[in-house]
Chain A
Amino acid sequence: MEFLRKHGSSPRRRLLTFAATGTVAALLLSACAADAGGEAGGGEGSSEGASISFIPKNLNNPYITLELSGAKEAAEELGFTYAEAAPLDAGADSQIPFIQTEVQNGTQILAVSPNDPDAVCPALEDARAGGAKIITFDSDSAVECRDLFINQTSVEGVAAGQLEQLFDQIGGTGEIAILSATAAAPNQNAWIEAMIQQIEESDEYEWDLVATVYGDDDDTKSFQEAQGLLQSYPDLAGIISPTTVGIAATARYLSTSEYKGQVALVGLGLPGQMKEYLDDGTVQAFALWDPSEVGYLTAYAGKALLEGTITGAEGDTFDAGKLGSYTVGPDGLVIVGELLKFTPENIDEYDYISF
């Protein structure tokens, strides 16, 4: 490093003063110079060449890689300039700088999966003030901070699908448990809440939900939590794990233990990862959607917003390429599709949901 060699030759007098003025000068330099960033072009009509940026919860996770593959495909079809940026961990604070820098880059369509529904709002509002269109996908921000929310499938649908799969295997009675991601994950908590509500309301579901544990979307931790569940609840009949990391870790544990085939496991899993457990009988059924469709639809919704075809109002319809036509629901919500349920019979049809 060059600067460290300068020790001997740097000025030695009044260095603290220099330090203070240096810092102030540095701040002023960046404060006063140049223009305010983020001049996104609004305007109706063609969106050819528009810029779209995807900011998922974090990078380097197979589920998100799949989502972004769909986004990239649609962006290419539409002739958009595509970019993706995200932190390596799904913290509330680590994601915000990525939104901020995209605001400054003047991105015209900003697609975000907020790690924290409210904390992202100031930055999203700045982006909007600059004329950008804001779409949340996968998880939502506060309603007033975005134009559209693209959700895989309805919260109730995700909850109902998993409960049905469990019912098919163990019937309506017995002890069950949930293995979730982190205690603070908004999606997970919404699904769990919906499941609890549906169990309460249904006459068929007489299950006793004995525990909800958190594997923090970490393989090791999820594995140990699964094992802890089986140890503390000897009569456990089923586990629901609505997270791809959690269900895989639980399946791995079950398949290597004496509980294999004794305890039912359902949840949301990636076909590529779960296939071996379907084959060896650890798991009979699980569910998900095609994550790439989420990304794909998000890009098309962005085009419709940018061209002014839709505003995000309820009842707006737009075209989404290979997926057909979609209608905006209440609160700017667009549902991609139904929950896909995987069984040993159909799993091979879905091996395209892979990377």
Chain B
Amino acid sequence: MPESTAARRPAWVARLLTRDAALIAVLVLVLVLASAALPRFASPVTVGYLLLNAVPVLLLALPMTLIIITGEIDLSVASTVGITTATIGSLNLAGWEFLPAVLVALLVGVIAGAVNGALIAFVGLPSLAVTIGTLALYRGLTLVLIGDNSVSSSQYPEGFTSLINAKVGATGIPIVMGFVILAAAVFIIVLHATPFGRGLYALGFSKEAATFVGVHVPWAKFWLFTASGLVAAFVGVFWSTYYSARSDSANGLELTVIAAVLLGGVSIFGGRGTVIGALTGVLIISNINYALRLQRVPDVVLIIITGSLLIVSVVGPSVVDAARRRIQRARRHRTRPLAEARGIDGA
């Protein structure tokens, strides 16, 4: 980062903004290229399909971003989605109405998240290990709950399923996106406009720093994981009405979410990343995938592209940074041989 910027505002702010801008530029580029190359891509039909398919990952990316910013991780989200769909499905089989079943499912999601949160925040266990455990546990309980049954959306009142598929006028944008935007707004405000949110960045750098700026570290972690469970439960509700409730609902989705969030510039070390970046990451992956599928490019190529994007998006900046630092150091040595060549090291 050139000196002038670093002087005007904290280096990490500038870095976040430029990274987001770059990501959005990439997204726009992908959209323009796909629209130009594929006549059928730019249509309300694409918008509708693509966004609806992306809803689960978009939603799950929100709490995941905050959690990764604090230096933790939640691998159990997909299993939490599974257990909440199984709750709705099995209650439906037991003769419950849809809405009460949804309320119970949301409660189940909150409890699942709170269990993670309590083990991580108050017992002090590493989140990676805890959530590998609950990944297996919640998926196991999903199986216990729903067994070999499959409860499809046709079981629920017509209104809910048509609401899920409803679009805003002729734009093709699904009504459900309203909820996603609302949820995103909440997370953006919490992360970027409250002391709590700013404390999360501090937490990502060090616990002591966070305590110093007034964050109660255990409670912050506890609420983050509980929020993750709640959001996963909402995804579970969406899943059971858009797809169905089965023992394998959302199996393996956690890696997709994490890959998208990391691609969106959230640092796995914590302390760096934005909600907008993460959401852009999700949209970049889903747009590329959708465009390539329209061209009938096999899925094999898609997963290779996803993997490569992920690696390039983290290796790229680190290589560029290293190169820039070297150039800068060389330049400083030329002009002021004794000056310190340190001080702009980021996360």
Chain A interface residues (CB < 8 Å from chain B): 1, 3-8, 10-12, 15-16, 18-19, 22-23, 25-38, 59, 83, 85-89, 91-93, 96-98, 100-101, 103-106, 116-119, 122-123, 126, 142, 182-184, 186, 189, 214
Asked whether A97 lies within 8 Å of B49 as measured between CB atoms, the reply is yes
| 9 tightest Cβ-Cβ pairs between the two chains A and B | A118-B152, A33-B42, A183-B148, A37-B40, A184-B246, A4-B316, A15-B17, A100-B49, A31-B171
Asked whether B143 lies within 8 Å of A183 as measured between CB atoms, the reply is yes
- Assuming A15-B18, A83-B296, A87-B299, is B173 touching A27 (CB within 8 A)? yes
Interface residues on B, range: 35 or more
**Residue in A closest to B51 when the chains form the complex, CB atoms:** A27
Asked whether A119 lies within 8 Å of B21 as measured between CB atoms, the reply is no
B43: chain A residues within 8 A (beta carbon): 30, 33-37, 104
**Residue in B closest to A123 when the chains form the complex, CB atoms:** B49
Asked whether A34 lies within 8 Å of B45 as measured between CB atoms, the reply is no
Asked whether B251 lies within 8 Å of A7 as measured between CB atoms, the reply is no
Checking B56, B143, B242, B293 against A119 with a beta-carbon cut-off of 8 angstroms, the contacting residue is B242
Interface assignment of B312: CB less than 8 Å from any CB of chain A: yes
Asked whether B22 lies within 8 Å of A6 as measured between CB atoms, the reply is yes
Asked whether A37 lies within 8 Å of B45 as measured between CB atoms, the reply is yes
- Which of B28-36, B128-136, B208-216 interfaces with chain A? B28-36
Chain B interface residues (CB < 8 Å from chain A): 1-2, 5, 14, 17-29, 31-32, 35, 39-47, 49, 53, 56, 143, 147-148, 150, 152-154, 165, 171-173, 239, 242-244, 246-252, 276, 280, 283, 289-290, 293-294, 296, 298-300, 303, 312-313, 316-317, 320
Checking B21, B46, B294, B299 against A30 with a beta-carbon cut-off of 8 angstroms, the contacting residue is B46
Asked whether A101 lies within 8 Å of B290 as measured between CB atoms, the reply is yes
Checking B14, B49, B239, B298 against A59 with a beta-carbon cut-off of 8 angstroms, the contacting residue is B298
- Assuming A92-B244, A105-B294, A116-B244, is B42 touching A30 (CB within 8 A)? yes
Checking B148, B153, B251 against A118 with a beta-carbon cut-off of 8 angstroms, the contacting residue is B153
A121 to chain B, nearest CB (A): 8
The CA of A119 and the CA of B320, in the complex, are separated in Å by: 45
The CA of A11 and the CA of B22, in the complex, are separated in Å by: 10
Total residue contacts A-B, CB cutoff 8 A: 188
Checking B42, B148, B248 against A29 with a beta-carbon cut-off of 8 angstroms, the contacting residue is B42
Pick from A22, A101, A142 the residue with the most CB of B within 10 Å: A101
B39: chain A residues within 8 A (beta carbon): 34
- Assuming A104-B46, A119-B152, A184-B150, is B299 touching A10 (CB within 8 A)? no
Add 4 more A-B contacts to A5-B316, A30-B43, A105-B294 (CB < 8 A).
Answer: A8-B2, A10-B21, A33-B35, A183-B143
Checking B46, B150, B246 against A37 with a beta-carbon cut-off of 8 angstroms, the contacting residue is B46
Asked whether A19 lies within 8 Å of B20 as measured between CB atoms, the reply is yes
Asked whether B244 lies within 8 Å of A4 as measured between CB atoms, the reply is no
The CA of A118 and the CA of B245, in the complex, are separated in Å by: 11
A32: chain B residues within 8 A (beta carbon): 171
Listed by A's residue number, 7 A-B pairs whose Cβ atoms lie within 8 Å are A8-B18, A16-B17, A22-B24, A29-B35, A89-B252, A91-B251, A118-B153
Asked whether B21 lies within 8 Å of A11 as measured between CB atoms, the reply is yes
**Residue in B closest to A87 when the chains form the complex, CB atoms:** B299
B27: chain A residues within 8 A (beta carbon): 22-23, 26
B44: chain A residues within 8 A (beta carbon): 31, 36
Asked whether A3 lies within 8 Å of B25 as measured between CB atoms, the reply is yes
The CA of A184 and the CA of B85, in the complex, are separated in Å by: 14
Asked whether A1 lies within 8 Å of B316 as measured between CB atoms, the reply is yes
- Assuming A29-B32, A34-B35, A118-B152, is B243 touching A92 (CB within 8 A)? yes
The CA of A91 and the CA of B252, in the complex, are separated in Å by: 10
B62 to chain A, nearest CB (A): 15
Asked whether A104 lies within 8 Å of B294 as measured between CB atoms, the reply is yes
Asked whether A30 lies within 8 Å of B41 as measured between CB atoms, the reply is yes
Asked whether A10 lies within 8 Å of B18 as measured between CB atoms, the reply is yes
A183: chain B residues within 8 A (beta carbon): 143, 147-148, 247
A222 to chain B, nearest CB (A): 16
- Assuming A35-B43, A85-B293, is B171 touching A22 (CB within 8 A)? no
